[in-house]
Amino acid sequence: MQESIIHRARQGDQRAFQQLVESYHDVVWRTARVLLPDANAAEDALQEAWLDTWRGLRHFNDRQEFRPWLLTIVANRCRMAMRRRTISTVPIEVADEERLISADDVAKTILDAERASELQIVLKALPVEQQHVLELRFFAELELAEIALVLHVPLGTVKSRLHRALGNLRESKKIELLDILNTERAHRSR
Amino acid sequence: MNDTKLEQHLQKHYQNLYGNPPAAEHMWKRIAPELAMQERKVIWWRRMFMSKHATNKPIVATQREHRSRRAVLHTGTLVASLIIGLATIGATAYAATGGAQLADLFEYLGIKSMAQQFSDYHQSKSVDGYTLTIQKAYADTNRVLIGYTGEAPTGKSFAGKFAPGEGELTTEQGIKLRNMGGIATGTESGNLFAYDASGIQGTPKELHLYLAIPYGSQPQNSGFQMEGYLTFNIIVPFHPGKVLQMNHAVTSSGKPETKQASYHDAVAGIVKGQVEVLHGKTVTLQKVVIAPTETRAYIQGFDRADYTNIAFSRLDFKLTIDGHEYSASMIYAGTNAWQVNFDDPSLASKKGQWILTIQQTISEIDSKEKAYETPGATWNIPFIVK
């Protein structure tokens, strides 16, 4: 069925293309949302990406898989949007991948976490690359190979970043304490 | 905390942080009007390509192929369209290796006089052993046409090295001319690209243009990765066309109404919906710009939504002159005015009464599930071309 829709879209059938947009909208929106800092920018990039897809369908190879191909187009559009954005704003500094959470800050972070979005504070302490991998994995629900395509890095790098990110979170006492806090809060609310 | 619990935490957290995607329909509404324009553009260029090059062969034609096609042309099977001729220039320029074959091509197409209006450049720039050469250029009120060729190092492919579709053309006043698309074969053969000249003010004698063509690489299963631009400065003589300022308003007969419409989709089956029949709607023909590369009509009064409902209803544009009909090749459904293009080059020399007809057509399906169409609103706008 999917092949048939792609085939018809390649022939210029707009209704078939609309079906593709509807089928893949969720995953590409989530991906763009992770890669770009605000929802408007993500939607603008997606609009361009879908038009790229429409134009590019004529050259799409039947033996290729559609979803990774589409995700690559979306990622390229997001990168272009980000590049345009960084010209007029402050460039994003690449975080040190090896940077780990300071154990001394645990108590303070826990207090902050009580007041603000708790898990977010912990996540923000992770290197940006690790955050992106987590977001693409658990928000966009991409396969690891797809994350590699989107981030333009080797699959091995994705695996190691994910491993480190989860390891950092797991080993961080903050997460455990957050869990305890959440449990206690649940008990209190009963 | 175990892995599953951690992953659940993360999923919940990101969901709260980013929220849910808007409805796919919202995105489709943004894409659909643009898609209609893209579709028309593709058809237009494809038609040019297919009528001259009916096989899947590359656009570069050998001398022998030209000769064999000449016989076909002389039988009248194919019209020696000026635009088709222009589209072939880039390709032939490369094959010509110096332009000898190019002159032969113009003669063979019967457009020798027009061919003289193209300027020669033969400007080459190289990167990583790949060479790109601007061969020919032409400019009038509607379009700037640039033909160029390329060469790859021995054993390497030209495909994917340049992205001519992303090429940028800028005037010395800093006006960026919109890339309208073109023919790029992706091989060492030629390319011809058109740029929208409507942004050029007045009727200058020549245009000082700056062309930047991106180069880079295209890894397998990936998009084009730009690394830089090859840039060219060219001065192109400007051919002014006729500009007819009109502001001629016409209202379609009848009263506006909403009608049930339907179409048959191979996957979804019968799709039903509603469509606005545009009776009683006033549209204004603002101006008509006639030039050798194209004739354009600028029309105000339509909404972008009139094109987004394309599945149920469509709008066709045609010009009638001396009993001959010319269909629109491309429509740009802009927010302020729609630009309707007619690419028949013979229009540039037509005089007398012209009638622009806009016809709405609605798709319907009868009780036996047979598709048929009914006319909706109609506008007839006559004007005189001297």
Nearest residue, CB atoms, A138 vs list B14, B16, B28: B14
Contact B323, B330 (CB under 8 A): no
Q: Which H or E run contains B150?
A: strand B143-151
- Same domain, residue pair A123 and A164: yes
Q: Which two tokens stand for residue B336?
A: 């302020």
Residue A96 lies inside a defined structural domain of this protein: no
Q: What is the tally of structural domains in chain A?
A: 2
pLDDT of residue B94: 34
Residue A136 lies inside a defined structural domain of this protein: yes
List chain A residues with CB under 8 Å of B36.
14
Would the CB atoms of B35 and A17 count as touching at under 8 Å? yes
Contact B179, B166 (CB under 8 A): yes
Mean pLDDT in chain A?
A: 73
Would the CB atoms of A170 and B24 count as touching at under 8 Å? no
C-alpha distance from residue A106 to each of A187, B235, B344 (Å): 23, 67, 74
- Same domain, residue pair A107 and A184: yes
- The CATH code that applies to domain B243-385 is 2.60.40
Would the CB atoms of B18 and A54 count as touching at under 8 Å? no
- pLDDT exceeding 70 applies to what percent of chain A? 65
Give the model's confidence band at A147: pLDDT under 50 very low, under 70 low, under 90 confident, else very high: very high
Q: Which H or E run contains B258?
A: strand B257-265
Most A CBs within 10 A among B2, B4, B10, hence the mutation to make, goes to B10
Would the CB atoms of A58 and B265 count as touching at under 8 Å? no
Model confidence pLDDT, tens digit, residues A3-12? 778 877 877 7
Nearest-CA distance B48 → chain A (Å): 17
Residue A93 lies inside a defined structural domain of this protein: no
Residue B234, classed as helix, strand or coil, is: strand
Of A36, A65, A88, the residue that ends a domain is A88
- Same domain, residue pair A28 and A64: yes
CATH code assigned at A153: 1.10.10.10
- Same domain, residue pair A112 and A41: no
Residue A163 lies inside a defined structural domain of this protein: yes
- Same domain, residue pair A21 and A52: yes
Burial of A153 (0-12, 13-18, 19+ CB in 10 A): middle
C-alpha distance from residue B122 to each of A91, B59, B119 (Å): 41, 20, 10
Task: Say if domain B29-240 classifies as CATH 2.60.40.1930.
Answer: yes
Could you read off the pLDDT tens digit of each residue along chain B, which spans 386 residues? Answer: 566 777 887 888 888 888 888 888 889 888 887 766 654 444 433 333 333 332 222 222 222 222 222 222 222 222 223 233 333 333 333 333 334 334 443 443 344 555 677 888 889 999 999 988 888 888 999 989 887 777 888 877 766 788 776 789 999 999 999 877 655 444 444 566 778 898 898 899 999 999 999 898 866 555 668 899 999 999 999 999 899 999 999 999 999 888 877 765 444 556 677 788 899 999 999 999 999 888 999 999 987 666 545 557 778 889 999 999 988 877 777 777 888 888 777 898 999 999 999 998 887 777 766 667 789 999 999 999 99
List chain B residues with CB under 8 Å of A2.
none
Long-range contacts of B321-324 (CB under 8 A, 24+ apart): B321/B347, B321/B350, B321/B352, B321/B353, B321/B354, B321/B355, B322/B350, B322/B352
Would the CB atoms of B17 and A46 count as touching at under 8 Å? no
Residue A118 lies inside a defined structural domain of this protein: yes
C-alpha distance from residue B175 to each of B165, B197, B210 (Å): 18, 10, 10
C-alpha distance from residue B246 to each of B328, B335, B383 (Å): 19, 20, 9
Would the CB atoms of B42 and A55 count as touching at under 8 Å? yes
pLDDT of residue A34: 92
- Same domain, residue pair A119 and A174: yes
Whole-number Å distance between alpha carbons of A181 and B2 = 16
Nearest residue, CB atoms, B311 vs list A12, A15, A64: A15
- Same domain, residue pair A83 and A152: no
Whole-number Å distance between alpha carbons of B102 and B96 = 6
DSSP B334: -
CATH code assigned at A19: 1.10.1740.10
Domain of residue A140, residue span: 103-189
List chain A residues with CB under 8 Å of B37.
none
Whether A172 shows a pLDDT value over 70: the answer reads: no
Q: Which two tokens stand for residue A110?
A: 């826990």
| ipTM here | 0.74
List chain B residues with CB under 8 Å of A16.
266-267
Query: What are the domain boundaries of chain B?
Result: 29-240, 243-385
Q: Which residues contact A30 (CB under 8 A, 6 or more apart)?
A: A139, A140, A141, B18, B21
